[in-house]
């Protein structure tokens, strides 16, 4: 069995940066599970369907194959796909369709990698509750909103901090209060608060806990 590292947390907490660095350092396969939900959202937008239509969203999710997905598609990383992903992620049938893909990635990492690092919002609680290592990365919402606004501006999106903060509060509320797989740290997860912690410091802390 491969070694599995679960990294959960809200948007712009630094979980993705940490997960990618852990995977690179350890030679493990990496999966940003949030992109799966964003991919469902992007396809819904492409066919001009309603994100609230669970049946259509679930049908789309059931057609996915991780090995065939284009994770470099810029459409997966804009604010629009993020908003739609937050909606489709509340659908039980969508989550059920994607759970198997994520667990298979963890059990059999591509490229014969000795382990897998998965980041998302329910990896340690739902997808891989038996993960060898679990981290929950968080930060003050004002700090996270500042990071996201800066990231968007660097991509050419003239985002206003107040709007990003408002949107992030709505996303957090939706993620933390949804009935299916709400965002929360696993009982045995190591919580890393990056409010005043650099990416290097967070990485060093996680590696020390793994070692």
* Residue-wise pLDDT tens digits, 81-112: 988 998 999 999 999 999 999 999 999 999 99
Give a yes or no: residue 29 inside a domain.
yes
The model's confidence at residue 168, banded by pLDDT at 50, 70 and 90, is very high
Inform me whether the pLDDT recorded for 160 exceeds 80. Answer: yes
Inform me whether the pLDDT recorded for 151 exceeds 80. Answer: yes
Taking Cα atoms as reference points, which of 4, 12, 5 lies closest to residue 137?
A: 12
Report the alpha-carbon distance of residue 147 to residue 154 in Å, rounded. 11
- DSSP letter for 33, please: T
Give a yes or no: residue 84 inside a domain.
yes
Inform me whether the pLDDT recorded for 18 exceeds 90. Answer: yes
Give a yes or no: residue 200 inside a domain.
no
Give a yes or no: residue 42 inside a domain.
yes
Report the alpha-carbon distance of residue 159 to residue 105 in Å, rounded. 35
Q: Is the CB of residue 11 less than 8 Å from the CB of residue 148?
A: yes
Mapping DSSP to helix (H, G, I), strand (E, B) and coil, where does residue 61 land?
A: helix
Report the alpha-carbon distance of residue 80 to residue 157 in Å, rounded. 12
Mapping DSSP to helix (H, G, I), strand (E, B) and coil, where does residue 17 land?
A: helix
Give a yes or no: residue 201 inside a domain.
no
Residue 180's alpha-carbon distances to 65, 96, 143, 172, 183, in angstroms, are 23, 10, 27, 14, 9
Give a yes or no: residue 196 inside a domain.
no
Give a yes or no: residue 207 inside a domain.
no
Q: Can you give the residue range of the structural domain that contains 98?
A: 3-188
Residue 137 pairs in a beta bridge with 192
Q: What is the tens place of the pLDDT at every residue in 112-141?
A: 999 999 999 999 999 999 999 999 999 999
Entry pTM: 0.93
State the CATH number of the domain containing residue 70. 3.40.50.300
- DSSP letter for 189, please: P
Query: How many distinct structural domains can be found in the chain?
Result: 1
Taking Cα atoms as reference points, which of 16, 46, 86 lies closest to residue 7?
A: 16
What region, left, alpha or beta, does residue 156 occupy, with left being phi > 0 and alpha being psi -120 to 50 degrees? left
Give a yes or no: residue 195 inside a domain.
no
């Amino acid at each position: 069995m491969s070694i599995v590292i679960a990294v959960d947390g809200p948007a712009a907490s630094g979980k993705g940066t940490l997960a990618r660095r852990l995977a690179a350092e350890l030679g493990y396969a990496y999966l940003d599970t949030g992109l799966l939900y964003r991919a469902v959202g992007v396809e819904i937008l492409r066919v001009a369907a309603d994100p609230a239509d669970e049946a259509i969203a679930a049908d789309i999710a059931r057609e996915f194959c991780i090995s065939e997905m284009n994770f470099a598609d810029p459409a997966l990383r804009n604010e629009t796909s993020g908003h739609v992903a937050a909606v489709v992620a509340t659908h039980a049938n969508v989550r059920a369709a994607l759970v198997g893909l994520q667990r298979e990635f963890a059990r059999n990492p591509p490229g014969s990698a000795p382990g897998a690092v998965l980041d998302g919002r329910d990896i340690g609680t739902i997808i891989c509750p038996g993960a060898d290592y679990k981290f929950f990365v968080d930060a003050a919402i004002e700090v996270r909103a500042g990071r996201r606004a800066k990231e968007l501006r660097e991509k050419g999106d003239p985002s206003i901090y107040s709007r990003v903060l408002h949107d992030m509060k709505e996303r957090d509320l939706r993620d933390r209060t949804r009935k299916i797989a709400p965002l929360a740290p696993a009982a045995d997860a190591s919580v890393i608060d990056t409010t005043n912690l650099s990416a290097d410091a967070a990485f060093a802390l996680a590696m020390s806990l793994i070692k």
